[in-house]
Amino acid sequence: EAGVAQSPRYKIIEKRQSVAFWCNPISGHATLYWYQQILGQGPKLLIQFQNNGVVDDSQLPKDRFSAERLKGVDSTLKIQPAKLEDSAVYLCASSLLSGYNEQFFGPGTRLTVL
């Protein structure tokens, strides 16, 4: 079974630039999550989708971050404009159903903002 795919794996940008990350969840998984992991900390949920609807985006900085999940499959997370404090690993995860909560994580995208 293929795992969660993410791209790119690494990205370096300058502050005020924009960046986008892509995630392809495990086939058939209805729920998709985006987490931000700052160095030395545990991941923090940014946004959760159930199919193509948003379940929780309470910790998403909506003035600069946006995310979408078209057709309930792939998802993109965008930052515009980026700040230095956005440097982190962005992890995508998926689960079959939100009620059965085992989440499967992708390898992450490491973002460095200079």
Partner 1 sequence: KQEVTQIPAALSVPEGENLVLNCSFTDSAIYNLQWFRQDPGKGLTSLLLIQSSQREQTSGRLNASLDKSSGRSTLYIAASQPGDSATYLCAVSLSNTGKLIFGQGTTLQVKP
Q: Closer CB to partner 1, residue 59 or residue 80?
A: 59
Shortest reach from residue 107's CB to partner 1, in Å: 5
Enumerate residues 57-86 that contact partner 1 by CB under 8 A: none
Asked if residue 22 binds partner 1 (CB under 8 A), the reply is no
CB count in 10 Å sphere of residue 54: 13
Please identify, using beta-carbon distances, which residue of 13 and 105 lies nearer to partner 1: 105
Closer of 22 and 105 to partner 1 (Cβ): 105
Residue from 15, 2, 5 nearest 108 by CA = 5
Q: What is the CA radius of gyration of the chain?
A: 13
At residue 71, φ and ψ (nearest 5 deg) are 60, 15
Token duo for residue 54: 């948003």
User: Which of these segments, 16-24, 62-70, 75-83, 103-111, binds partner 1 (CB under 8 A)?
Assistant: 103-111
